[in-house]
Amino acid sequence: MIVSDKMKAVLVHYNHALSLYKSRKFAEAKEEFKKGLAIHPEDGPSKLYIERCDDYIADPPPEDWDGVYNMKTK
C-alpha cells in the first residue's frame, strides 16, 4: 500500500496527539489532532478524539484511568 505524503503528515500529527491523549494532556492532544484535520478535514478518527478530548477537559477521567473511553450515550 502506498501512503501519500499528505496522509504521512496527518499520521505524524495523529500519532503525536494520541501519545499526548494517553498521557492525559487532553488540551495539547486536541490541538495536535486539529493540525491533522487542517491537512485532511475528513479524518474521522481525529474528529472523534477531539470530541473525547473535549469530554475529558470538561470532566477529567479518574487518576487510575487506563485509556479506555466509556461512552455516555448509545
The answer to the question of residue 71 being in a domain is no
Task: Specify the number of domains making up the chain.
Answer: 1
The answer to the question of residue 53 being in a domain is yes
Model pTM score:
0.89
Full residue range of the structural domain in which residue 50 is found: 5-58
Give the pLDDT score at 57: 96
User: Mind giving me the DSSP string for 17-68?
Assistant: HHHHHHTT-HHHHHHHHHHHHHH-TT-HHHHHHHHHHHHHHHSPPPTT--SP
The answer to the question of residue 66 being in a domain is no
The answer to the question of residue 33 being in a domain is yes
The answer to the question of residue 67 being in a domain is no
The answer to the question of residue 69 being in a domain is no
Angle at 33 between CA 12 and CA 69, to 5 degrees: 110
Averaged pLDDT, groups of 10, the chain, 74 residues long: 89 97 97 97 96 95 88 68
Question: CA-to-CA distance for 54 and 38, rounded, in angstroms?
Answer: 18
Give the pLDDT score at 68: 85
Give the pLDDT score at 74: 59
